[in-house]
Amino acid sequence: MFKNVIVRVPSRSISEGITSVDYGTPVYEKAIVQHENYVSALTKCGVNVTVLGPQEEFPDSCFVEDVALCTSKCAIITRPGAESRRKEAILPDMLEALEGFYENIERIEAPGTVEAGDIMMVGDHFYIGESARTNREGANQMIAILEKYGLTGSIVEMKEMLHLKTGLAYLENNNLLVAGEFKTAPEFEKFNRIEIEMNEAYGANCIWVNDTVIVPEGYPIVQKKIEDLGYKVLVVDTSEYRKIDGGLSCLSLRF
């Protein structure tokens, strides 16, 4: 169960965020409303939400998931693969927030790169995607740190998705949403895999928070498949964040 969540309010510079898609430019006013609704949904799941202020210098800084991995034993400050995001991982307010919750804080060091959007937690095991943003050195450092605290990790090779969790969402109880290249990945054969077609692949980026699953708006097939598993579902519009490669999981640290 999660007790705490950290989020960051998007900045006006969000329109300059990194993107690999052509869905238009994020509208700041809409992004703010969507973020407020996101925080509201999290609150309904019974967690305490820490809201950090916007950082105009960093257009992607609302995607706090990438800059730290929060485990049951420690927090690990990452070293983002996107160079423009490196300093996000050492912003004083984020470090202060993490220090308020964790005695043990570790760091990924150069030449390793890790973005925690590439890391999926299943119990005490962490699947780490080797992607354009997370390299083998960073993944190995992450596994070594996890093992120091009695946790485990393994590397998943990727070829297509931006981040591991772009096409995966673990919903607890062995249920795993899978899209794209992960449908046939041998690492996930033991799970009850709920396959999501590419036309709804963005909808696969859901988050489980204390037996409720928050689902992006506009993906009715994904929503129905999750409801059919017996979960309570909350729907949140993240369309402005999709324009800069962001989804539901990217917008928060959950622990």
| Residues forming the active site | 163, 250
- Cis before 111? omega within 30: yes
- Which neighbouring-strand residues pair with 192? 175
**Strand, helix or coil at 193?**
strand
Q: If we measure between CA atoms, which residue out of 218, 188, 185, 213 comes closest to residue 201?
A: 218
Cα–Cα distances in Å, from 14 out to 18, 80, 86, 128, 137?
9, 18, 17, 27, 30
Cβ within 8 Å of residue 8, ≥6 positions away: 51, 52, 53, 54, 55, 61, 62, 64, 94
Q: If we measure between CA atoms, which residue out of 96, 108, 117, 100 comes closest to residue 53?
A: 96
Cβ within 8 Å of residue 247, ≥6 positions away: 165, 166, 202, 205, 216, 238, 241
Phi, psi angles (nearest 5°) of residue 135: -95, 170
CA distance 71 to 39: 21
CA distance 233 to 224: 9
Cβ within 8 Å of residue 100, ≥6 positions away: 50
